[in-house]
């Protein structure tokens, strides 16, 4: 019998394995694709987050290639570095770079380069995917479905180590605390850089991204794994400190 009152944790293992496979595959492709592309075929980029900037050299999705160098914080005279269009790449490479184009600003000074080719996402986003991968493996190894998201999230700890959270009914506070620990470093580093003259470094971006990705993946896996149908009713759920799930009318 497992600590949550069930005899198996197939769902938890499947969720962790699925998320780890998806994020791990993209993480690997981030580094492999530039190696197999023609050397120096992906120039220094500088786009916008949550926008398509490098789909084509001219026309739809070509903002990054339109020499938008008038703003010091975003865009550049791409003609100096060379134009780029991910729609001209092979399908796998196009997917990797299109995903990066849509979700990342792709600023060259905040990105790594392999084989003369800039990676599809910045260093912070590399850290995010690394954290997502590690968090999913962590959940696959330790996570348990305990009906509610907060109880499932906290299930990775030994029951005796979190019994006080259940005695005082501070489970939600405990979950928020760990989520905050993951979010605060990346938030502080990013916004402090945005609002002041402070300039972060790639090692710091990698670390803060990894921490945030880890906690996000941990929470996401817990949310997906929290299924009431795995129990006949809430009384079957075993919780630390002999606590019980009781729902008010």
**Per-residue pLDDT of the chain in tens (249 residues, 90 and over written 9):** 899 989 999 999 999 999 999 999 999 999 999 999 999 999 999 999 999 999 999 989 999 998 876 555 678 889 999 999 999 999 999 999 999 999 999 999 999 999 999 999 999 999 999 999 999 999 999 999 999 999 999 999 999 999 999 999 999 999 999 999 999 998 888 777 777 878 889 999 999 999 999 999 999 999 999 999 988 888 899 999 988 887 665
- Check if the beta carbon of residue 42 is closer than 8 Å to that of residue 111: no
Q: Which residues pair with 118 in a beta bridge?
A: 113
The pTM for the full model equals 0.92
Report helix, strand or coil for 114: strand
Q: Among candidates 101, 102, 108, which has minimal Cα distance to 123?
A: 108
Token pair listed for 56:
């084509």
Angle at 182 between CA 171 and CA 199, to 5 degrees: 155
Structural domain boundaries of the chain? 10-21+126-242, 38-114
């Amino acid at each position: 019998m497992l600590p949550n009152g069930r005899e198996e944790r197939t769902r938890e293992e499947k969720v962790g394995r699925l998320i780890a496979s998806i994020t791990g595959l993209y993480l690997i492709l981030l580094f492999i694709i530039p190696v197999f592309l023609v050397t120096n075929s992906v120039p220094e980029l500088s786009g916008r987050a949550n926008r398509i900037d490098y789909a084509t050299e001219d026309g739809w999705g070509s903002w990054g290639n339109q020499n938008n160098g008038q703003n010091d914080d975003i865009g550049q005279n791409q003609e100096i570095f060379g134009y780029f269009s991910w729609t001209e790449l092979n399908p796998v490479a196009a997917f990797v770079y299109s995903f990066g184009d849509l979700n990342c600003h792709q600023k060259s000074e905040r990105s790594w380069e392999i084989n003369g080719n800039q990676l599809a996402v910045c260093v912070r986003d590399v850290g995010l995917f690394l954290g997502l991968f590690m968090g999913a493996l962590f959940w696959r190894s330790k996570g348990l479905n305990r009906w509610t998201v907060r109880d499932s999230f906290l299930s990775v700890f030994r029951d005796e180590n979190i019994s006080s959270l259940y005695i005082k009914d501070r489970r939600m506070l405990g979950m928020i605390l760990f989520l905050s620990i993951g979010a605060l470093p990346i938030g502080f580093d990013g916004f402090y850089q945005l609002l002041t003259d402070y300039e972060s470094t790639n090692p710091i971006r990698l670390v803060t991204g990894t921490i945030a990705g880890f906690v996000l993946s941990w929470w996401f896996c817990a949310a997906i794994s929290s299924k009431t149908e795995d129990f006949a009713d809430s009384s079957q759920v075993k919780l630390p400190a002999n606590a019980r799930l009781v729902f008010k009318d």
